[in-house]
């Protein structure tokens, strides 16, 4: 009996010990408790991490070198898709989710189970993904002068990105492009920092509105339908000499702070989660190695508490040639204040070099802890620990009709009417929908890839109509006109054909070919051939409206005299109906130039306020037209006025006759 009692007491004692140990363990793992303050969770997790685990969190690799085992054994903090890096051609939202969750399961299987964060360039919609809504590039959005529209675009983009299981975007670009020769100028909202500041409203669309009394500088992401944003590229990327990409911005501190820095103030106030460092230099110092600006100003003065990320192989380019002293590049970038490094392929070398630098006390442990704290803070804030795996609940948001309607609105608000009528003749626009026949010409009239520009499906963009879904300008014209109107499309009609056919008017769509980054640097800024020849032939024969598809102002002055109406459509994206909405008068033109349109490239750089300012079309220029509805109302009012006048005359005559009778 006593043995049984002792046995029972022993079992009870062991059970109590086990329960106590479990409770102690649960209490001890504060970082797993969502009820704990984020700061507490970060500290608790950081205290548990080895140097290897910390450095792993600072690494971002491309999906092409990632798998579950790599994520688990190297403690990788982040994975990205570079331009065009996709799970498979024409991948669905489900394909993306399945791939990303597989990587995430590897991360969760590591010792501490720290989730990775997946990032992607979503710079004008979810532009890497088949069937996503492609919005106008920033160069067009700046012409809308509509920050609330930008916010809506941010919210729509966040939904489409989340639909594919991705919680982090490398957007927005808040560069102030001061020279259109720069190949990234279309990623900039304006030459005017004030417009760029206003358009940082897109951050609140991507991340959600910062709650009242939220501490300045803290990152904020408002739930599972929002994404972490990234203000880029810090700082001065739009001011390089002659617009050469990744080159040197030569200006004093006053110039840097007054033109290129203000949008970062606004972004931080809006709770932006991350900031990406620029490839460019400031007065000869590479930004990826500029401790004064990255740590001294961004982190210490502006109180930015999110994490700083490098650009693609950005630290390699600290040296010339790139990668020639990689260990130094690792040291210089981390000491400057870069927290996460976009490696993106050979991550072993980065991990080994940084580990040695820390163990040899060249890079202090405090700097590593600062970087990892920032990364973890963002991950906790956005709920990644509670919801690390994506589900399929949002897959129908990708390319939804609601988002396409929003993109269509953005297109029509971004278009700038530069000319309407010539030699004293009446305005050509809006065009009549009902007429005998219309000629549509030009290389860009029926080419979705040209219409979207770079950073669409592939890094440098695409050509043709098969790489994603959307509506070309030609298709939009066919849908907009009266069924009785004949549309004839000739990409490059010959002169004989033009003379033989009696077209009522022509719509000519020409522009630049797609490009991204350095591939877009241009010293000539000319229309792609045979664009100029098409303008001369068609507009020399009949009334014409010319639509320019471009990422910036281009040389157009030599052709102006022959053109009846001229429209800057920028890079409108997938929704071509936005162009025809204003072309045929369903809506009026309202866009205003957010950058100066030069006469000749010899004038560049030339920005509003310069002493030598002599543009073809000045900053802020944009002709307006009234919508068809407005015209209808005006016509009705006029008719009512005529009826009232006639009625008055009749009454007067009758009264007169009665009196004289």
Which residues make Cβ contacts (< 8 Å) with residue 446, sequence separation at least 6? 465, 472, 473, 474, 475, 489, 491
Query: Is the model's pLDDT at 653 over the cut of 70?
Result: no
Each residue's pLDDT tens digit, 588-635: 999 999 999 999 999 999 999 999 999 999 999 999 999 864 343 333
- Lowest-confidence segment of 290-304, 316-330, 493-507, 634-648 by average pLDDT: 634-648
Query: Is the model's pLDDT at 650 over the cut of 70?
Result: no
pLDDT band at 9 (very low <50, low <70, confident <90, very high): low
pLDDT band at 14 (very low <50, low <70, confident <90, very high): low
Each residue's pLDDT tens digit, 271-280: 999 999 999 9
31-44 burial string, b = 16+ CB within 10 Å, else e? beeeebebeebbbb
∠ CA 54-57-58, nearest 5°, is 95
CA dist 214 and 211 (Å) reads 6
Q: Percentage of the chain surpassing pLDDT 70?
A: 91
Which residues make Cβ contacts (< 8 Å) with residue 592, sequence separation at least 6? 143, 145, 416, 620, 621, 622
Each residue's pLDDT tens digit, 415-451: 999 999 998 899 999 999 999 999 999 999 999 999 9
Tokens representing 349 are: 């070398």
Enzyme catalytic residues:
311, 517
5-22 burial string, b = 16+ CB within 10 Å, else e? eeeeeeeeeeeeeeeeee
Query: Is the model's pLDDT at 4 over the cut of 90?
Result: no
**Whose structure tokens read 């060249």?**
362
- Dihedral sign (CA 8, 12, 13, 17): positive
Q: How far is CA 605 from CA 181, 557, 616, in A?
A: 9, 17, 14
Q: Which domains does the chain have, with CATH numbers?
A: 50-382 (3.20.20.300), 404-603 (3.40.50.1700)
Tokens representing 439 are: 């000629």
Query: Is the model's pLDDT at 2 over the cut of 80?
Result: no
Each residue's pLDDT tens digit, 501-536: 899 999 999 999 999 999 999 999 999 999 999 999
Query: Is the model's pLDDT at 78 over the cut of 70?
Result: yes
| Number of Cα atoms under 13 Å in the Cβ half of residue 596 | 25
Query: How crowded is residue 653: how many other Cβ atoms within 10 Å of its Cβ?
Result: 10
Backbone angles phi, psi at 421, to 5 degrees: 105, 150
Q: Percentage of the chain surpassing pLDDT 90?
A: 89
Residue predicted with more confidence, 129 or 656: 129
Average pLDDT over the chain, rounded to an integer: 92
**Whose structure tokens read 């009417």?**
417
Stretch 378-383: mean pLDDT: 98
Which DSSP category does 260 fall into? I
- Lowest-confidence segment of 442-456, 481-495, 641-655 by average pLDDT: 641-655
Query: What is the pTM for the complete model shown?
Result: 0.91
Each residue's pLDDT tens digit, 461-476: 999 999 999 999 999 9
pLDDT band at 51 (very low <50, low <70, confident <90, very high): very high
Stretch 565-579: mean pLDDT: 98
Return the closest-CA partner of residue 41 out of 379, 500, 486: 379
């Amino acid at each position: 009996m006593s043995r049984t009692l002792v046995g029972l007491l022993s079992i009870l004692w062991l059970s109590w010990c086990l329960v106590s140990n479990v409770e102690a363990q649960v209490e001890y793992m504060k970082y797993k408790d969502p009820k704990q303050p984020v700061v507490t969770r970060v500290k608790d997790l950081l205290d548990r991490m080895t140097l290897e685990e910390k450095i792993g969190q600072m690494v971002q690799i491309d999906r092409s070198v990632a798998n579950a085992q790599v994520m688990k054994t190297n403690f990788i903090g982040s994975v990205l898709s570079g331009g065009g890096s996709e799970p498979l051609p024409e991948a669905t939202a489900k394909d993306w989710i399945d791939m990303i969750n597989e990587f995430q399961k590897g991360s969760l299987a590591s010792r501490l189970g720290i989730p990775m964060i997946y990032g992607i360039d979503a710079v004008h919609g979810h532009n890497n993904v088949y069937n996503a809504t492609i919005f106008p590039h920033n160069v067009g959005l700046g012409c809308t002068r509509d920050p609330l529209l930008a916010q809506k675009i941010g919210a729509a983009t966040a939904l489409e990105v989340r639909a594919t299981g991705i919680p982090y975007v490398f957007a927005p670009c808040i560069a102030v492009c001061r020279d259109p020769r720069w190949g990234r100028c279309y990623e900039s909202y304006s030459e005017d920092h004030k417009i760029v500041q206003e358009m940082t409203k897109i951050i609140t669309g991507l991340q959600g509105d910062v709650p009242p009394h939220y501490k300045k500088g803290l990152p904020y992401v408002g739930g599972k339908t929002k994404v972490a944003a990234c203000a880029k590229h810090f700082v001065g990327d739009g001011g390089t000499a002659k617009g050469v990409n990744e080159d040197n911005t030569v200006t004093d501190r006053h110039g840097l702070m007054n033109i290129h820095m203000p949008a970062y103030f606004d972004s931080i106030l809006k709770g932006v989660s991350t900031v990406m460092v620029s490839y460019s230099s400031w007065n000869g110092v590479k930004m990826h190695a500029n401790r004064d600006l990255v740590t001294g100003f961004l982190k210490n003065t502006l109180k930015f508490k999110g994490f700083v990320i490098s650009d693609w192989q950005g630290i390699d380019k600290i040296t010339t040639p790139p990668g020639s002293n990689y260990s130094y590049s690792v040291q210089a970038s981390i000491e400057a204040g870069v927290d996460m490094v976009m490696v993106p392929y050979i991550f072993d070398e980065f991990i080994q070099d940084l580990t040695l630098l820390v163990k040899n006390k060249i890079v202090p442990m405090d700097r590593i802890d600062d970087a990892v704290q920032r990364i973890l803070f963002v991950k906790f804030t956005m709920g990644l620990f509670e919801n690390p795996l994506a589900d399929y609940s949002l897959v129908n948001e990708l390319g939804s009709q609601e988002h396409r309607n929003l993109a269509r609105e953005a297109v029509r608000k971004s278009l700038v009417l530069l000319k309407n009528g010539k030699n004293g003749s009446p305005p050509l626009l809006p065009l009549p929908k009902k007429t005998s026949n219309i000629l549509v010409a030009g290389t860009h009239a029926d080419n979705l890839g040209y219409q979207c520009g770079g950073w669409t499906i592939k890094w440098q963009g695409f050509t043709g109509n098969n790489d994603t879904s959307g509506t070309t300008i030609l298709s939009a014209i066919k849908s907009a006109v009266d069924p009785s109107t004949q549309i004839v499309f000739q990409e490059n009609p010959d002169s004989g054909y033009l003379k033989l056919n009696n077209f009522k008017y022509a719509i000519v769509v020409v522009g630049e070919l797609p490009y991204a980054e350095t591939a877009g640097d241009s010293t000539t800024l000319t229309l792609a051939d045979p664009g100029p020849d098409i303008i001369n032939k068609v507009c020399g024969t009949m009334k014409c409206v010319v639509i320019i598809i471009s990422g910036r102002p281009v040389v157009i002055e030599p052709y102006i005299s022959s053109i009846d109406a001229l429209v800057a459509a920028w890079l409108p994206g997938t929704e071509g109906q936005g162009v025809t909405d204003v072309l045929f008068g369903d809506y009026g033109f309202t866009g205003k130039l957010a950058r100066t349109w030069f006469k000749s490239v010899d004038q560049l750089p030339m920005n509003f306020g310069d002493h030598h300012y002599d543009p073809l079309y000045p900053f802020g220029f944009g002709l307006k037209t009234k919508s068809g509805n407005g015209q209808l109302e005006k016509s009705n009012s006029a008719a009512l006025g005529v009826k009232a006048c006639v009625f008055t005359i009749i009454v007067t005559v009758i009264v007169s006759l009665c009196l004289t009778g």
